[in-house]
Amino acid sequence: MKRLRVAMIGYGFMGAAHSQGWRTAPRVFDLPVEPEMAVLVGRNADAVAAAARKWGWAESATDWRDVIAREDIDVVDIVTPGDSHAEIAIAALEAGKHVLCEKPLANTVAEAEAMAEAAKRAAVRGIRAMVGFTYRRVPAVTLLRNLVAEGAVGTVNQVRASYRQDWLVDPKMPLAWRLQKEHAGSGALGDIGAHAIDLAQFVTGLALEKVSGTVDTIVKERPLLDSGSGLSGAAGAGYGTVTVDDIAIFTGRFETGALASFEASRFATGRKNALQIEVSGDKGALAFDLEDLNSVQFYDRTAPADRQGFRKVLVTEAGHPYLSGWWPAGHMLGYEHGFSHQVKDLVEGIADGIDPHPTFADGLQVQRVLEAVEHSSHNDSAWTRVAAGVTAAAL
């Protein structure tokens, strides 16, 4: 195989980000196979054609089923709203296409289970599937994971993870698809809380076993979208009901017994894209903040008392994760670079015949955590086991 011809289904905000990754990765890294941006798919023929020209796709189409059936397509990249993930991904895998699917994997655990089973069957035929938890591929986050695995903080005792934004503080913000359960599955919890959950499990190498939490909808009605503006356009006349959460706050317990606290909010006034995690252990602590994404904070408890304190480690050296293909030390990377790293890992996994991470099974596990949090909230924040999603009375 000399080329991987890619079809991307969907072309909103994530479409632009994924296009950046496909366009840039082969020009930065020495990939074993050359990805080719073959087809961009969307329902509006004029709009998707314009997006294809702008982002560098060779052609556009309006029917994803026709594109998946094409023999000249090798990879399907799914960046549509969550309500279509399962149908598209399963069809693509059954057609023998490798699949990259944006997070969260699906809108329900049942859909995610079906997707994970389809990926398992496809893997027997050498077909790979990966979930787009892109923040794993910020070099500082990967370094954080590596340091924890090497024992830099010792035994993990506590984790704090949050993802806070403020784009819904204005009650006049229209009722976009992300605020409708039939399209999004859940609100802040599934959209940005999924990232915090995945980050906590990825960085520590531990799985959440049970949760206790609360979700809430602060603004319960919003202006309807103008009928001609699509799923995320301008406000029109009248109001509609918000059917997802605006904020989720919950506690989790890992399989080791260590506790974690989580917050996902679209009402954190002044916070634009604040994804943060701090891991505390018996030998030290590590912290990361997406609003300072080229560094980690490290506290070494084993150092002499007169030299203890958090210190900033600039993650720009060639020896740091993913950095060898980029700029000289001290030159910063941004949000978009994670998507190039995602392409790198996916293409290398396909070429090497191994499953790139996170797999659909990893995505399913996060989906189970999301469901358990919602179940807990509906039951007076009762502790709820992640695997089964039922209240554990004996806890």
The pTM (predicted TM-score) of the whole model is 0.93
Domain architecture of the chain: domains with CATH: 3-135 (3.40.50.720), 138-330+358-385 (3.30.360.10)
Give me the residues of the chain with pLDDT under 70, please: 1, 227-236, 388-395
147-163: pLDDT as tens digits: 999 999 999 999 999 99
CA pair distance 291, 311, nearest whole angstrom:
17
Average predicted confidence (pLDDT) for the chain: 94
Output the pLDDT for position 227. 59
Output the pLDDT for position 394. 30
Output the pLDDT for position 390. 42
167-198: pLDDT as tens digits: 999 999 999 999 999 998 899 999 999 999 99
